[in-house]
């Protein structure tokens, strides 16, 4: 049963991701991206990682996609942008890169398959084990990623801040006179 669900959600994830990179409208692409993330969360659940599945839904599909939606709404891209995307996405544009990346994918699959087929049934890894590993073995990593997030917050605040036009008293006077 879980195996069928795994293959089903993997198919959904791949189709949704394909739709993301071919849509013209940004919001449509974003909704397909959410579907893709939900399907990947389902994959995580079937391979015995329920904690990661929850994180995928909460953080990826929830928080990060909400950020994207806010930014797209801020731009209020109209129909002209969609037409522009249509003009940009001609076969001449996508054929070359697609063939090249497809060759890379074929190579990757060949390398993996050459190792021989190993099958496994997955046991559920409890969130407790993840937490224990996270805060003992990888404590330094947790602290470093905390620093990274802090840098991200400071960077986003600094970039998003509207700069006030501050003029010196003397310059202001000069502007009024001139």
Partner 1 sequence: MDSISMETGFIIAGILFTLGLTGVMIRRNLIFVLMSIEIMLNAAGLAFVFAGSFWNQADGQVMFIFILAVAAAEVSVGLALIILIFQKFKTLDIDQLSKMKG
Task: Report how far residue 97's alpha carbon sits from residue 67's, in angstroms, rounded to the nearest whole number.
Answer: 29
Give the residue with the Cβ less far from partner 1, 86 or 172: 86
Smallest gap from Cβ 24 to partner 1, in A, equals: 9
Place of tokens 């001449």: 92
* 122 in Cβ contact with 50 (< 8 Å): no
Give the residue with the Cβ less far from partner 1, 137 or 175: 137
Spell 146-158 as b/e; 16+ CB within 10 A means b: eeeeeeeeeeeee
Q: Is 68 left (phi over 0), alpha (psi -120 to 50) or beta?
A: alpha
Smallest gap from Cβ 178 to partner 1, in A, equals: 27
Smallest gap from Cβ 165 to partner 1, in A, equals: 14
Give the residue with the Cβ less far from partner 1, 104 or 166: 104
* 77 in Cβ contact with 47 (< 8 Å): no
Smallest gap from Cβ 79 to partner 1, in A, equals: 15
Smallest gap from Cβ 136 to partner 1, in A, equals: 10
DSSP string, 14-78: HHHHHHHHH-SSHHHHHHHHHHHHHHHHHHHHHTT-HHHHHHIIIIIIIIIHHHHHHHHHHHT--
Give the residue with the Cβ less far from partner 1, 78 or 178: 78
Give the residue with the Cβ less far from partner 1, 106 or 173: 106
């Amino acid at each position: 049963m879980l195996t069928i669900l795994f293959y089903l959600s993997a198919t959904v994830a791949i189709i949704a991701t394909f739709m993301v990179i071919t849509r013209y409208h940004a919001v449509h692409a974003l909704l397909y991206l959410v579907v893709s993330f939900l399907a990947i969360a389902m994959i995580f659940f079937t391979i015995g990682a329920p904690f990661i599945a929850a994180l995928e839904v909460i953080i990826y599909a929830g928080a990060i996609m909400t950020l994207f939606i806010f930014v797209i709404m801020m731009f209020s891209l109209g129909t002209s942008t969609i037409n522009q995307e249509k003009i940009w996405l001609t076969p001449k544009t996508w054929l070359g890169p697609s063939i090249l990346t497809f060759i890379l994918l074929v190579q990757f699959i060949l390398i993996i398959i050459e190792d021989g087929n190993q099958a496994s049934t997955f046991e559920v890894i409890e969130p407790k084990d993840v937490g224990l590993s996270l805060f003992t073995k990888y404590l330094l990593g947790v602290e470093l990623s905390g620093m990274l997030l802090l840098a991200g917050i400071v960077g986003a605040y600094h970039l998003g801040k509207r700069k006030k036009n501050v003029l010196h008293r003397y310059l202001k006077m000069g502007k009024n006179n001139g």
